[in-house]
Structure 1
Amino acid sequence: MRIHLTSVFVDDQETALRFYTDVLGFVTKHDVPAGADRWLTVVSPEDPDGTELLLEPSGHPAVQPYRTALVKDGIPAVSFAVDDVRAEFDRLRGLGVRFTQEPAEAGGVTTAVLDDTCGNLVQIVHGG
């Protein structure tokens, strides 16, 4: 069994698509109209047939309280592996990305947490 698809709820799919592609560096896999929204997925350019991330509309009534609680408690909605957290932190900060946690090391793992501009915290991680 493998993870094929996972999702992150976003306030605005177009804003999310720009952030996740232009800033984070993912590439669009699917962009299909689905009523008022889109079936919109991105993948890593290093693994175009790998796990897809669905940029899912946040319209369901349960989503906003859930996301608000996660952000309030500083809990990332998703985590992405990077080769060098500090280098990625510097690159993203240079692009104007706001971090809620600067690079920190614990037990052989380095993490940082950023705001995806779409209602979520995102962790970047290396090690472990």
Structure 2
Amino acid sequence: MMRVNMASVLVDDQTKALRFYTDVLGFKEKTNVPLGEHRWITVVSPAEPDGVELVLEPDEHPAAKPFKAALVADGIPYTSFAVDDVQAEYERLRGLGVTFTQEPTDMGPVTTAVLDDTCGNLIQIAHLAG
């Protein structure tokens, strides 16, 4: 049986990303070890500390920055995170100064919003109607 245990987001500054993903988005730091000139940093949901880890991976590969810039230019989120209530999370994050490129939008079975993670990515938050 195959399962997802890690996913990555490419960030332009690991220190800034760790601060944003923990202090602002609310993830919990799980791993933070030196790895050459960078670090191996993962964060997890506090609700699932042994769940899927998100790697805050440096965007050092030559293709990474143009790829990320093209996604942002087209308004395409790099990835999506589940939340219980998009409107409430939108309001909480706006209160913390987070910039959104898409306000909460009801799309039938899902409500989404898109935020700027300050590290070169747009991130979607989503809630499935239940």
Match of 1:7 in 2: 8
Match of 2:57 in 1: 56
Match of 2:17 in 1: 16
Q: Which amino acid aligns with 1:60?
A: H
TM-superposed CA distance for 1:2, in Å, is 1.1
Write the distance in 2 (CA, Å) between the matches of 1:76 and 1:3.
20
2:46 is paired with a residue whose SS is: coil
Asked if 1:95 corresponds to 2:96, the answer is: yes
TM-superposed CA distance for 1:23, in Å, is 0.2
TM-superposed CA distance for 1:107, in Å, is 1.8
Write the distance in 1 (CA, Å) between the matches of 2:79 and 2:94.
19
Match of 1:107 in 2: 108
TM-superposed CA distance for 1:40, in Å, is 0.3
TM-score (norm 2): 0.97
- Over the aligned positions, Cα root-mean-square deviation in angstroms equals 0.7
Match of 1:75 in 2: 76
TM-superposed CA distance for 1:80, in Å, is 0.4
TM-superposed CA distance for 1:50, in Å, is 0.5
Q: Which amino acid aligns with 1:75?
A: I
Q: 5+ residue gaps in structure 1?
A: none
Write the distance in 2 (CA, Å) between the matches of 1:102 and 1:86.
9
Match of 1:25 in 2: 26
Write the distance in 1 (CA, Å) between the matches of 2:98 and 2:108.
26
